[in-house]
Amino acid sequence: MNNLKAHGFTIRNRKFESTVAVPRDDISDDRLGVFKPMFSEMGQLARRHPGELIFDLLKAGFATTCYDGQNFFDSDHPVELDTGLTSVSNRQAGAGPAWFLLDTSRTVRPIIWQEREKYEFQSITKADDPCVFVNDEYMYGVRARVNAGFGLWQLGFGSQAALDETNYAAARAAMMDFRSDSGRILGVSPTVLVVPPALESDALHLLNTETKDGGGSNPWKGTAELIVTPYVA
């Protein structure tokens, strides 16, 4: 948290809205119930929108800077230890689909969700409203002021290497060894594994099966909660 404060950490709110105009007569004649499901879908989209912003940002972490001026997932995060300035990595290089380990158990998160004005469904349907009277249309919309931003890079690890036992173990070990600028162990413990649909099978096998390929017990069973989302694909 001191690092965030020292670097002038801020998250700027963004305004989002989705509005549709529907002819008044169409609402009156809507005997097939076409519009009610459309309005329900607007609510569903608003409900999913935070996840879309958060996971889009996570996917962009290999090329988007965080508070220390390095990409959020980078091999050169500067950390000042007793032995001097050193570079610390929270990424694995590779050419495959990206997957992510996160520690979401802390007060500060790897990605911070900021909600200045909550998602609100609004409608303009009164007959004496100028929009309705002049245009003969009803207006329906969803509006919010929100944003997602990177928190502490030490609480996240991004990999584009294969999602297998060796790389998963290496990523967990690297996170658990992250230290503060004073050299103190931060006590990071990965709690969530985020994968795209292409890696769902590998992730389920890694986290849910009792035995490894070739026999023997699977030591990684239950070591993280799994989130599968197309927003990181």
Structure-model confidence comparison of residues 140 and 152, the more confident one: 152
Helix/strand/coil for 35: helix
**pTM of this structure:** 0.83
| 5-9, 65-69, 119-123, range with the lowest pLDDT | 5-9
pLDDT value for 6: 47
* Residue 217, beta-bridge partner list: 211
Q: Is the pLDDT of residue 11 over 70?
A: no
Q: 224 and 171 in contact (C-beta within 8 Å)?
A: no
The token pair at 230 is 């197309």
Structure-model confidence comparison of residues 113 and 122, the more confident one: 113
The token pair at 125 is 């349907």
Q: 226 and 203 in contact (C-beta within 8 Å)?
A: yes
> What is the domain range of residue 175?
2-232
Helix/strand/coil for 54: helix
pLDDT, tens digit (0-9, with 9 covering 90-100), for 14-68 = 787 777 888 888 777 765 577 778 777 777 888 888 999 999 999 999 999 998 8
pLDDT value for 4: 53
The token pair at 149 is 């931003």
Which range in 6-10, 56-60, 66-70, 80-84 is most confidently predicted, on average pLDDT?
56-60
Over the Cα atoms of the chain, what is R_g?
A: 23
> Average pLDDT in the 116-120 region?
86
Report the candidate in 231, 46, 42, 59 with the shortest Cα–Cα distance to residue 146.
Answer: 46
Residue 32 CA, distance from chain mean position: 38
pLDDT value for 223: 97
The count of domains in the chain is 1
| Average confidence score pLDDT of the chain | 88
Residue 88 CA, distance from chain mean position: 23
**105-126 core/surface letters (b: 16 or more CB in 10 A; e: else):** ebeebbbbbeeeeebeeeebee
In angstroms, the Cα distances linking 130 to 127, 133, 136, 137, 180 are 8, 5, 9, 10, 59
pLDDT, tens digit (0-9, with 9 covering 90-100), for 188-197 = 999 999 999 9
Which range in 4-8, 12-16, 122-126, 173-177 is most confidently predicted, on average pLDDT?
173-177
If phi over 0 gives left and psi between -120 and 50 gives alpha, with beta otherwise, what is residue 71?
Answer: beta
> Average pLDDT in the 62-84 region?
92
Helix then strand then coil, % of the chain, to nearest 5: 30, 30, 35
Tell me how far apart the alpha carbons of residues 74 and 65 are, in angstroms, rounded to a whole number: 9
| 97-106, 144-153, 194-203, range with the lowest pLDDT | 144-153
pLDDT, tens digit (0-9, with 9 covering 90-100), for 150-196 = 999 999 999 999 999 999 999 999 999 999 888 889 999 999 999 99
Q: Is the pLDDT of residue 211 over 70?
A: yes
* Residue ranges with strand state E in 73-201: 77-81, 84-88, 91-92, 99-102, 111-124, 137-150, 156-159, 192-195
